[in-house]
Structure 1
Amino acid sequence: MELILIRHLKTPGNEKRQYIGSTDEELSEQEVLNFKQKYKIDSYPQVQQVIVSPMKRCIQTAELIYPKNQITQEVLLKECDFGIFEGKTYEELKDREEYQAWLDSGGTIAFPEGEEQKEFRSRCVRGMLRQVNRLCKENVESAAFVVHGGTIMAVLEQLAEDQKDFYHWQVENGGGYRTLVNEDEWKSGIHRFRKIQKLGGAIE
Structure 2
Amino acid sequence: FEGRAVQELVKDPEFAQWMDPTSRTVPEGAEDRQMFFNRTSSMLMKMFEYMLRTHTEEAACVTHGGVIMNMLSQHALPFRKPEEWMTDPGAGYSVRLDAEMWMRDHLAEAYDVVPHGYLDGME
TM normalised by structure 1 equals 0.50
- Listed as ranges, the gaps of 5+ residues in structure 1 are 1-83
**1:192 counterpart = 2:107:** yes
Aligned length: 117
Change (3 A) 1:196 1:102: same
Pick aligned residue for 1:155 from 71, 79, 82 = 71
What's the counterpart of residue 144 of structure 1? Answer: 60
Q: How far apart are the structure 2 equivalents of 1:108 and 1:172? A: 27
More deviation in 144-153 or 103-112? 103-112
Deviation for aligned residue 1:112: 4.1
- Listed as ranges, the gaps of 5+ residues in structure 2 are none
Percent same amino acid at aligned positions?
Answer: 23
Deviation for aligned residue 1:121: 1.6
What's the counterpart of residue 5 of structure 2? Answer: 88
1:181·1:194 contact (CA, 8 Å) conserved in 2? Answer: yes
Change (3 A) 1:133 1:104: closer
Change (3 A) 1:174 1:94: closer
Richer in helix (by share)? 2
- Map residues 8-157 of structure 1 onto 2, 5 A cutoff: 84=1, 87-89=4-6, 91-106=7-22, 109-157=25-73
More deviation in 105-114 or 91-100? 105-114
CA deviation digits over 1:93-146, x for unaligned, max 9?
Answer: 233221232244457643542111210121011011012112112222211112
CA-atom RMSD in angstroms? 2.3
Question: Relative contact order, CA 8 A, sep 6+: which one is greater?
Answer: 1
